[in-house]
């Protein structure tokens, strides 16, 4: 029996199991690219408008950081700029989750053992998962290319655009194939791969803001960016991409060949034989379960804040040089352009940090479905106390992650202005002002968990997605900015640029409390498990 025996069967199994999930995820990415391309053409109909837009964008460090520079003022060039980065991130996430679901997650649950006892070779699972992931990306690339061509965009550019998105995703599929060999749990394997993805995207962001080409070479996102769809259409950056993929896959197979089924390379450690005296309540347990995730988010957001604090001054100078942006900031009431930069990134980051808040809230669901909640609830612990403990940690944790962002920004920026104390106080305050908005989304998650537990994750993340989509609609489709009023994130004052007002904060806090209370009331009534 060769190491690959049974790969075909496993491929069919993955296709059968992910027959809804994969087409939706990959399909939405393709639709996003095609949809944005269609709307860009309408938003900037004339060559002149596009030239102006290119000029302001390439002078705006926040845009350079989040997305990168525009290479060409054609409709295709703008579309490529606007959506390539996000599409690559989303589809890479889809790829790495597909690969880990097909490999480590199967081993962790023991299903792989069931399959492994049949005629299935050692490398079959890894090969099947990688094959499906690579093929799904290729199909997505072709769909994107066809979609763009159907809008009258050049064929070559359309194809390069599709491939550049898929190429980044291939890299992370291969990386996930490797991390799945290293750890015992799917969660850790995903965590490592996603962290690597975030760091490599951040490297690209730093490179683009600093206009440093050698830094950009450190990240696969920098390589695929160099394919420049509709602005030169290069195929050669695929060479380093393929090289890296081959390297990762080779290491993954080598690791897979040398370990036991179910085991990782990073060894499992023994724990203490006795619990610390503090571990004696459901709240203490919730803290124990959540602290790792919270620590990771707090460190990441502080580090990211420090990075933003570091680029703030040069960013502000560039903002000042751009007349349109300076005018905008002045109209919003800000005298210092650097404050405009901070207000914008805090607004944006608070939505990213909401992912933590939703994730932490949905811990309740994971505890319930795994049956671990039963062990606690069969003890003298009421449902409200059990759920309340997790939610209290979520609320406090969201505050800590936001504070980390403000602290990082304030410290690094303050060191450069010579007033760390003052800057930390100001930016810490500005970040924490966003807490009520974040908590409203967490409260929506808690409400749905109480009412419709099966749909909790989908509805909560969709709500967050809609808030981001509104932003997109206003920015790209020129929708009336007043639609943003629906979003809890637009309700909190945009410190440090805007005036501080306490009323919206109180109102949002009241809404969050009300939604959470309704969720807990529903939880109290329903069946568990």
Partner 1 sequence: MSNVISVSGLVKTFGRTRALDGLDLTVQAGEVHGFLGPNGAGKSTTIRILLGLLRQDSGTARLLDGDPWRDATTLHRRLAYVPGDVTLWPTLSGGETIDLLGRMRGGLSPQRRAELLDRFELDPRKKGRAYSKGNRQKVALVAALASDADLLILDEPTSGLDPLMETVFQESIQEERRKGRTVLLSSHILAEVEALCDRVSIIRRGRTVETGTLAELRHLTRTSITAELTGPVPPLTGTAGVHDLWTQGNRLRCQVDGDALDTLLGELVRVGVRSLVSRPPTLDEMFLRHYADDLTGAAGERAVVRR
**Integer CA distances (angstroms), 204 to 211, 423, 505, in order:** 10, 27, 35
C-beta closer to partner 1: residue 235 or 384:
384
CB 249 within 8 A of CB 177: yes
How far is 4 from 119, CA to CA, in rounded Å? 10
C-beta closer to partner 1: residue 379 or 418:
379
How far is 202 from 193, CA to CA, in rounded Å? 14
Choosing from 165, 167, 319, 376, the residue that interacts with partner 1 (CB under 8 A) is 376
Choosing from 382, 422, 465, 481, the residue that interacts with partner 1 (CB under 8 A) is 382
CB of residue 324 to partner 1, shortest distance in Å: 51
How far is 51 from 28, CA to CA, in rounded Å? 30
CB 47 within 8 A of CB 167: no
C-beta closer to partner 1: residue 243 or 382:
382
CB of residue 200 to partner 1, shortest distance in Å: 28
Sign of the CA dihedral running 400, 405, 411, 414 = negative
C-beta closer to partner 1: residue 128 or 373:
373
Instruction: State which of positions 201-240 bind partner 1 (CB under 8 A).
Output: none
Specify the stretch interacting with partner 1 by CB under 8 A; choose among 7-15, 33-41, 374-382, 441-449: 374-382
Choosing from 182, 202, 289, 328, the residue that interacts with partner 1 (CB under 8 A) is 289
Q: Which two tokens stand for residue 138?
A: 């290729």
Contact between 374 and partner 1 (CB under 8 A)?
yes
Specify the stretch interacting with partner 1 by CB under 8 A; choose among 50-58, 167-175, 219-227, 285-293: 285-293
In the shown chain, the binding pattern of residues 175 to 194 toward partner 1, with x for contact by CB under 8 A and - for none, equals: ---------xx---------
Angle ∠(141,143,146) on CA atoms, nearest 5? 110
CB of residue 474 to partner 1, shortest distance in Å: 43
| CA-wise closest residue to 433 among 405, 460, 468 | 405
Specify the stretch interacting with partner 1 by CB under 8 A; choose among 355-363, 375-383, 457-465, 508-516: 375-383
C-beta closer to partner 1: residue 16 or 269:
269
CB 432 within 8 A of CB 399: yes
CB 160 within 8 A of CB 71: no
| CA-wise closest residue to 476 among 48, 35, 31 | 35
Q: Which residues contact 372 (CB under 8 A, 6 or more apart)?
A: none
CB of residue 195 to partner 1, shortest distance in Å: 18
CB of residue 183 to partner 1, shortest distance in Å: 11
How many residues touch partner 1 (CB under 8 A)?
36
Instruction: State which of positions 91-120 bind partner 1 (CB under 8 A).
Output: 108
Q: How far is CA 134 from the centre of its chain?
A: 21
Instruction: State which of positions 292-311 bind partner 1 (CB under 8 A).
Output: 292
| CA-wise closest residue to 204 among 77, 349, 65 | 65
CB 448 within 8 A of CB 455: yes
C-beta closer to partner 1: residue 378 or 502:
378
In the shown chain, the binding pattern of residues 344 to 373 toward partner 1, with x for contact by CB under 8 A and - for none, equals: --------------------------xxx-
Q: Which two tokens stand for residue 205?
A: 């962001």
C-beta closer to partner 1: residue 373 or 405:
373
How far is 186 from 179, CA to CA, in rounded Å? 9
CB of residue 246 to partner 1, shortest distance in Å: 33
How far is 167 from 143, CA to CA, in rounded Å? 14
Contact between 260 and partner 1 (CB under 8 A)?
no
How far is 486 from 501, CA to CA, in rounded Å? 18
Q: At how many degrees (to 10) do helices 75-102 and 186-209 cross? A: 160
Instruction: State which of positions 265-284 bind partner 1 (CB under 8 A).
Output: 268-275, 279-282, 284
CB of residue 432 to partner 1, shortest distance in Å: 30
CB of residue 181 to partner 1, shortest distance in Å: 17
Choosing from 236, 331, 380, 499, the residue that interacts with partner 1 (CB under 8 A) is 380
Choosing from 160, 163, 285, 435, the residue that interacts with partner 1 (CB under 8 A) is 285
Q: How many residues does the chain have?
A: 529
C-beta closer to partner 1: residue 84 or 365:
365
**Integer CA distances (angstroms), 330 to 243, 482, 491, 496, in order:** 49, 20, 20, 13
C-beta closer to partner 1: residue 105 or 227:
105
Binding site for partner 1 (CB under 8 A): 108, 184-185, 268-275, 279-282, 284-285, 288-289, 292, 370-372, 374-382, 525, 527-529
């Amino acid at each position: 029996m060769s190491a690959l025996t049974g790969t075909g069967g496993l491929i069919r199994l993955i296709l059968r199991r992910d027959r809804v999930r994969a087409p939706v995820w990959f399909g939405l990415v393709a639709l996003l690219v095609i949809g944005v391309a269609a709307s860009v053409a309408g938003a900037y109909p004339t060559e002149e408008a596009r030239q102006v837009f290119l000029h302001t964008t390439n002078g705006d460090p926040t845009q350079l950081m989040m997305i990168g520079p525009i290479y060409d003022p054609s409709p295709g060039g703008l579309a490529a700029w606007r959506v390539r980065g996000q599409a690559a991130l989303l589809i890479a996430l889809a790829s790495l989750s597909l690969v880990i679901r097909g490999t480590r997650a199967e081993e962790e649950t023991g299903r792989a053992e069931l399959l492994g006892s049949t005629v299935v070779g050692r490398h079959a699972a890894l090969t099947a998962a990688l094959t499906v992931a690579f093929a799904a990306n290729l199909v997505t690339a072709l769909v994107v290319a066809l979609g763009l061509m159907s809008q009258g965009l050049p064929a070559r550019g359309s194809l390069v655009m599709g491939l550049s998105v898929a190429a980044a995703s291939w890299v992370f599929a291969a990386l996930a194939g490797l991390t799945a060999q290293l750890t015992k749990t799917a969660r850790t394997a995903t965590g490592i791969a996603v962290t690597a993805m975030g760091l490599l995207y951040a490297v690209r962001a730093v490179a683009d803001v600093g206009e440093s080409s050698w830094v950009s070479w450190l990240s696969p996102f920098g390589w695929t960016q160099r394919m420049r769809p509709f602005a030169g259409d290069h195929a050669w950056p695929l060479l380093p991409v393929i090289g890296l993929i081959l390297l990762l896959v080779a290491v993954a197979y080598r690791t897979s060949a040398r370990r036991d089924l179910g085991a990782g390379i990073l060894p499992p450690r023994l724990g203490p034989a006795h619990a610390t005296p503090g571990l004696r309540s459901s709240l203490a347990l919730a803290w124990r379960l959540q602290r790792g995730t919270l620590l990771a988010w707090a460190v990441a957001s502080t580090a990211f804040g420090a990075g933003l604090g570091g680029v703030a001054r040069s960013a502000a100078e560039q903002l000042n040089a751009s007349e349109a942006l300076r005018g905008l900031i002045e109209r919003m009431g800000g005298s210092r352009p650097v404050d405009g930069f901070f207000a914008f990134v805090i607004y944006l980051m608070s939505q990213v940090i909401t992912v933590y808040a939703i994730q932490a809230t949905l811990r309740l669901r994971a505890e319930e479905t795994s049956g671990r909640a039963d062990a606690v609830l069969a003890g003298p612990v009421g449902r409200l106390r059990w759920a309340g403990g997790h939610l209290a940690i979520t609320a406090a944790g969201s505050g800590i992650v936001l504070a980390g962002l403000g602290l990082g920004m304030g410290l690094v920026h303050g060191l450069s202005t010579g007033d760390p104390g003052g800057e930390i106080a100001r930016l810490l305050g500005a970040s924490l002002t966003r807490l009520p908005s974040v908590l409203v989304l967490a409260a929506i998650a808690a409400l749905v968990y109480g009412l419709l537990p099966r749909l909790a994750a989908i509805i909560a993340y969709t709500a967050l997605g809609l808030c981001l989509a509104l932003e997109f609609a206003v920015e790209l489709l020129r929708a009336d900015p007043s639609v943003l009023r629906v979003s809890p994130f637009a309700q909190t004052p945009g410190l440090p640029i805007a005036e501080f007002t306490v009323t919206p904060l109180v109102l949002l806090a009241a809404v969050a409390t009300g939604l959470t209370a309704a969720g807990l009331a529903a939880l109290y009534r329903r069946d568990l498990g």
